[in-house]
Amino acid sequence: MRHGKKFNKLSRTHAHRRQMLANMAVSLIMHKKISTTLAKAKALRMYVEPLLTKSKDDTTHSRRVVFSYLHNKEAVTELFREISQKIAQRPGGYTRILKTGYRLGDNAEMAIIELVDYSLNPGGQSKEASKAKGTRRSGKKKAAAEQPKTQDSQAEQAAETSPAEEAGEQVKNEGETKAE
Residue 6: inside a domain = no
Tell me if the pTM is above 0.85.
no
One domain for residues 117 and 148: no
pLDDT for position 180: 47
One domain for residues 25 and 106: yes
One domain for residues 67 and 146: no
Query: DSSP code of 120?
Result: B
Residue 73 has pLDDT above 80, yes or no: yes
One domain for residues 50 and 116: yes
Tell me how far apart the alpha carbons of residues 40 and 45 are, in angstroms, rounded to a whole number: 9
The percent of residues in the chain predicted with pLDDT above 90, rounded, is 63
Query: Average pLDDT of the chain?
Result: 83
pLDDT for position 168: 58
Q: What is the CATH number of the domain that holds 51?
A: 3.90.1030.10
One domain for residues 36 and 108: yes
Residue 118: inside a domain = yes
For range 64-83, the mean pLDDT: 97
pLDDT for position 134: 59
pLDDT for position 71: 97
One domain for residues 152 and 92: no
pLDDT for position 18: 97
Residue 95 has pLDDT above 70, yes or no: yes
Query: DSSP code of 83?
Result: I
pLDDT for position 149: 55
For 28-61, what is each residue's pLDDT tens digit?
999 999 999 999 999 999 999 999 999 999 999 9
Domain that holds residue 174: 140-179
One domain for residues 21 and 102: yes
Query: Residue 38 contacts by C-beta under 8 Å, 6 or more apart in sequence?
Result: 97, 99, 108, 109, 110, 111
Tell me how far apart the alpha carbons of residues 68 and 60 are, in angstroms, rounded to a whole number: 12
pLDDT for position 172: 54
Tell me how far apart the alpha carbons of residues 114 and 168 are, in angstroms, rounded to a whole number: 49
Residue 127: inside a domain = no
Query: Residue 78 contacts by C-beta under 8 Å, 6 or more apart in sequence?
Result: 29, 30
Residue 4: inside a domain = no
Q: Assign 155 a pLDDT band (cuts: 50, 70, 90).
A: low
- Smallest Cα–Cα separation from 44: which of 53, 34, 55? 34
- For β-strands 109-115 and 95-102, DSSP reports them as antiparallel
What domain count does the chain have? 2
110, 100 contact by CB (below 8 A): yes
